[in-house]
Amino acid sequence: MTGSFLRSVLSQTSSGDAKGRDMDKKMSVNNEKSVMSELWNSMSKIGLMNNSNVVKCDAAPLPPSLPPPPGGSVEENDIAKAAAAVSPIGSPGPYEQATMDSKRLVSLDTADGARFDISKQLSPYMLVAHSFWLGTSMLPEGRNKTYTFVTQVATEDGKMLMARFDPEKRSLDGRLHYFPLGTRVQLSISPEGTNDQMLAELDLGSDQTTWAGNFKYGSMGGGIALGANYYQAITSRLAMGGEGMYLSANKSLMSNYTARYHFTPHDDPSNTDSSTIVGQWNPSQQMLSLNYKRTVTPGRVHVGAELQCNPLAPDQSQMALGAEFNLTRSKFNFCVGGDGRIQTVLEAKLGMAPGSPTLNFSANIHHATSDMKFGYGLNIGG
């Protein structure tokens, strides 16, 4: 009986312990649930949890987030694209160079006799040159030879000084350039003093402007010389300008007006095939000049034409056709005038290295007057 009583007591005790453990587990689970619930509610309140962003542990990972869209509205982007597509109007360049590129094809530098130009770079800032011209009939005063010495000095602050001395004429020509201010001073002195000249120039405008201007003041022929020019880019294709100069020595007023048109915008980097026409009117001479240049192959072949006419006297018109061919080591130019005159110039490099000597041959033939001139030259160090 005693054993039965002990077994019943032990069974009740073990069952009570089991019930106690079950109660403890239930309380622990309830406590964990309540803690998790409070934590969830707290995170939801501060915005760290959102039902749309809940990801289960066994779910696939989210894709990488995309970068934010660029700032600005669609309308602003369209305006920016349209503004970028519009090419700005660049500077037309100096007025004196408006017709230079077209005229060089029909105005060749031909010479008779022998010409030698030897230049030497003495330092990064100084250059000297010797020029000989022998056996020529193109010099004034009946001379058939000449020698000139030229020296050029540049400074780091943008100044450039150049002087040319002719010992036979005992004349000295000097020039001073100051690039930051766009100023130039030219001086010519001779023993007689009758042909002494002094001219100061001031350039206005820059590469960032759509116009260019120039003022001149000096002394020519024993009187004051005063001049000015203005050149304006109307569009990326069209530029117009004019120039006037007054000489007090003979009280003459000279002027001319120029218009240049590019069939393709000259500031377009993708422009590989261009044409240019330049018109110039000289009221004092009643002369109209038209120059046309065509780029057939960029950097290789260029052709040009020139027409000079007097609207009041059409029989005084003149025309010329010219072409230029650039090869690997040589360049050939020829020009044919309306009067039958033929001009040719051939330049050939005598080496591939920079500064190699250049040999040139030129001819000027006019069959109608039996006027024939031939010459050759050598340029060393240029």
The pLDDT tens digits for 283-328 are 988 999 999 999 999 989 999 999 999 988 888 899 999 999 999 9
Do residues 234 and 262 lie in contact, with contact meaning Cβ atoms separated by under 8 Å?
A: no
29-33, 213-217, 324-328: least confidently modelled range: 29-33
The per-residue pLDDT for range 63-118, each reduced to its tens digit, is 555 455 455 455 555 654 554 455 568 889 999 999 999 999 999 999 999 999 99
Mean predicted lDDT score pLDDT of the chain: 81
More confident residue, 352 or 29: 352
Q: Where are the domains of the chain?
A: 95-380
* Span of 36-40, 103-107, 331-335 with lowest mean pLDDT: 36-40
Mean pLDDT across the stretch 136-144?
86
Domain spanning 95-380: CATH 3.30.70.20: no
**What's the rounded mean pLDDT across residues 226-248?**
95
Range from 29-33, 104-108, 168-172 carrying the lowest mean pLDDT:
29-33
